[in-house]
Amino acid sequence: MIKKWIDTYQPKNIEDTEQALREIMQSITLSGLCRTGFGCK
């Protein structure tokens, strides 16, 4: 699942892949926080 998500970013090198992974982890974290009502209206 994560591999497919990273592939949507079309990384060209390891740095792009790491940045995509950071963004994915951030999205997952923010989604979890929002679901608990923390920081979302």
1, two tokens = 């699942």
pLDDT computed for residue 29 by the predictor: 93
Please give the pLDDT value at position 2: 86
Instruction: Give the model's pLDDT for residue 25.
Output: 96
**Single-letter residue type at 13:** N
pLDDT digits (tens, 9 = 90+) for 1-41: 889 999 999 999 999 999 999 999 999 999 999 988 887 66
Alpha helical stretches, state H, the chain: 2-8, 14-35
pLDDT of residue 40: 67
- What pTM value is reported for the model? 0.78
pLDDT of residue 9: 93
Query: What's the CA angle centered on 10, arms 6 and 12, to 5 degrees?
Result: 110
Angle (CA) 27 38 20, round 5°: 10
